[in-house]
A and B are shown apart, each in its own frame.
Chain A
């Protein structure tokens, strides 16, 4: 598998996660929005070790605005060339103020899907989201993912078990549903607003 250095989008780039990102990504994992993600590292040192131990089969990215400001993370993992599928995850907007009015999340996901479906020639992307992460489930479904099932009490979050909702997207659904909607949302930020 060849690993592109940077995936370049219209509002954001995806660049490979590096050990130097440990402090920043650890801080993001402590934010309120990250509360509904898998349990992460408990120190910057542990985060750095985790980053260094990522296997080459994983594509772990920092989402950066075009001015270079890092705003979040996104990954494509468990890539199976044999079955032509992979899991998307570790999706977190850590700098929420920086992305107000900016389609950073949509542009980042469009880049990841383009990489998965067009470059790697995969036919399916899947992932899981904690049931109480309602905004993320709503977002993923609107952009084409289908609910495929539920893993009961799959996550232990804040001392309480939560179901994991299983979501999946086929390449045909990506082209027919996801891409047009993503393009529209990105265009909405591009179009100039009314003059005063």
Chain B
């Protein structure tokens, strides 16, 4: 499986974990185009943090390298890493590449 597919799987699993915690009426379903945060997005900031924590933890475990999704670099990007699932996957793949993975 490609690195990108693994990363996508991690993100989608994190949203599933979040959805499991929510009440029935608040369940979330996502695909690669789903807007995560910002205008017309599906997550509030409580939910976004849950996804971030699970993604950071799972990526660190799978690739044996820590990543930080809320640092100065993430803030300064033209396209927010949390704009949608694809943008988040792209950002993580970029971080892993810089870590030599």
Contacts and interface: CB of A to CB of B under 8 A. Distances in A.
Nearest to B86: A194
B70 A194 contact: no
Contact of B80 (A100, A183, A193): A193
B44 A102 contact: yes
A184 B37 contact: no
A18 B7 CA distance: 47
Contacts of A106: 45
Interface residues of A, number: 31
Main secondary structure of the interface of A (DSSP, over half): helix
Given A139-B49, A194-B79, A194-B83, A189 B37 contact: yes
Given A134-B21, A138-B53, A193-B35, A99 B83 contact: no
Contacts of B82: 188
Interface in B21-55: 21, 23, 25-26, 35, 37-50, 52-53
A187 interface: yes
B99 interface: no
A44 to B, nearest CB: 23
B98 interface: no
Contact of A184 (B41, B53, B72, B79): B72
A135 interface: yes
A93 to B, nearest CB: 7
Interface in A95-129: 96, 99-106
